[in-house]
A = this chain, B = another copy of it.
Amino acid sequence: MDEETRVRLEKMLDDIKALLSAGDSAGLADYAGQQHPADLAEAYSLLSDEDKRSLIRLLPSELAADIVEELDTEDQTELVTEIGTAKASGIIGAMESDDATDLLSELDEEQTEDILKKMGREEAQEFKELLSYEDDSSGGIMGTEYVALTPNMKVDYALDFIRRTGREAQTLNDIYVVDADERLVGVLSLRDIVVANPMLKVSEIMHRKVVKVGVGSDQEEAAQLFKKYGFSALPVVDEHDKLTGIITADDILHVVDEEATEDIQKMAGTLSSDETYMSTRTTKHWFNRVIWLAILFLADLSSGFIMKGFEESLEAVVSLTFFIPLLIGCGGNAGSQSSAIMIRSLALKEVHLKDGLKVIWKETRIGLLLGLVTGLAGIVLSFLIPHAGVNWLHMGITIGISMLFTVMIGSVAGAGLPIIAMHLNLDPAVIAGPLITTIVDALGLIIYFSTARMIIGL
Q: Interface of A with B (CB < 8 Å)?
A: 34-36, 38, 159, 162-163, 166-167, 171-173, 189-191, 194-195, 209, 211, 226-232, 249-250, 252-254, 256-257, 260-261, 263-265, 267-270, 276-278, 282-283, 285-286, 289-290, 292-294, 296-297, 300-301, 303-304, 307-308, 311, 314-315, 318, 321-326, 328-330, 332-334, 336-345, 348, 350-351, 355, 358-359, 362, 365-366, 369-370, 373-374, 377, 381, 385, 407, 433-434, 437-438, 441, 445
Contact A230 B257 (CB under 8 A): no
Return chain B residues, CB-CB under 8 Å to A373.
290, 293-294
Name the one of B267, B318, B359 contacting A340, with C-beta atoms under 8 angstroms.
B267
How far apart are the CA atoms of A311 and B389 in the complex, in Å? 13
Known: A163-B195, A263-B264, A301-B381. A350 touches B278 (CB 8 A): yes
Q: How far is the CB of A360 from chain B (nearest CB, A)?
A: 13
Known: A265-B341, A296-B329, A340-B264. A307 touches B334 (CB 8 A): no
Known: A38-B229, A190-B172, A297-B326. A285 touches B433 (CB 8 A): no
Q: How far is the CB of A11 from chain B (nearest CB, A)?
A: 13
Contact B326 A301 (CB under 8 A): yes
Q: How far is the CB of A206 from chain B (nearest CB, A)?
A: 13
Please name the residue on chain B nearest to A70 by beta carbon.
B228
Q: How far is the CB of A338 from chain B (nearest CB, A)?
A: 8
Contact A330 B300 (CB under 8 A): yes
Known: A318-B318, A322-B308. A336 touches B433 (CB 8 A): yes
Contact B348 A257 (CB under 8 A): yes
Q: How far is the CB of A395 from chain B (nearest CB, A)?
A: 12
Contact A293 B326 (CB under 8 A): no
Return chain B residues, CB-CB under 8 Å to A341.
265, 268, 270, 277
Q: How far is the CB of A32 from chain B (nearest CB, A)?
A: 13
Nearest 10 CB-CB pairings of A with B = A268-B340, A249-B249, A303-B325, A260-B260, A276-B350, A300-B329, A277-B345, A230-B250, A286-B369, A304-B322
Contact A293 B325 (CB under 8 A): no
Q: How far is the CB of A277 from chain B (nearest CB, A)?
A: 4
How far apart are the CA atoms of A18 and B233 in the complex, in Å? 34
Contact B249 A344 (CB under 8 A): no
Contact A324 B326 (CB under 8 A): no
Return chain B residues, CB-CB under 8 Å to A256.
253, 256-257, 260
Please name the residue on chain B nearest to A339 by beta carbon.
B268
23 A–B contacts, CB within 8 A, in A order? A167-B195, A190-B191, A227-B253, A227-B254, A249-B249, A256-B257, A268-B336, A268-B337, A268-B433, A270-B340, A276-B345, A282-B365, A285-B366, A290-B370, A292-B333, A293-B373, A297-B330, A303-B329, A304-B323, A304-B325, A314-B318, A318-B318, A333-B437
Contact A232 B171 (CB under 8 A): yes
Beyond A283-B369, A297-B326, A329-B438, 18 additional pairs, beta carbon < 8 A? A38-B228, A159-B194, A232-B232, A249-B249, A256-B257, A264-B344, A268-B433, A276-B350, A276-B351, A277-B351, A278-B345, A286-B366, A294-B373, A297-B377, A300-B329, A301-B326, A315-B318, A329-B437
Return chain B residues, CB-CB under 8 Å to A348.
257, 261
Please name the residue on chain B nearest to A295 by beta carbon.
B333
Residue in A36, A162, A340 with the greatest tally of chain B CB atoms within 10 Å: A340
Contact B226 A434 (CB under 8 A): no
How far apart are the CA atoms of A238 and B374 in the complex, in Å? 48
Return chain B residues, CB-CB under 8 Å to A311.
318
Return chain B residues, CB-CB under 8 Å to A296.
329-330, 333
How far apart are the CA atoms of A344 and B261 in the complex, in Å? 7
Contact B337 A325 (CB under 8 A): no
How far apart are the CA atoms of A172 and B173 in the complex, in Å? 7
Contact A314 B325 (CB under 8 A): no
Return chain B residues, CB-CB under 8 Å to A269.
333, 336-337
Q: How far is the CB of A234 from chain B (nearest CB, A)?
A: 12
Contact B300 A326 (CB under 8 A): yes
Return chain B residues, CB-CB under 8 Å to A339.
268
Please name the residue on chain B nearest to A316 by beta carbon.
B318
Please name the residue on chain B nearest to A313 by beta carbon.
B318
Q: How far is the CB of A48 from chain B (nearest CB, A)?
A: 19
How far apart are the CA atoms of A406 and B264 in the complex, in Å? 23
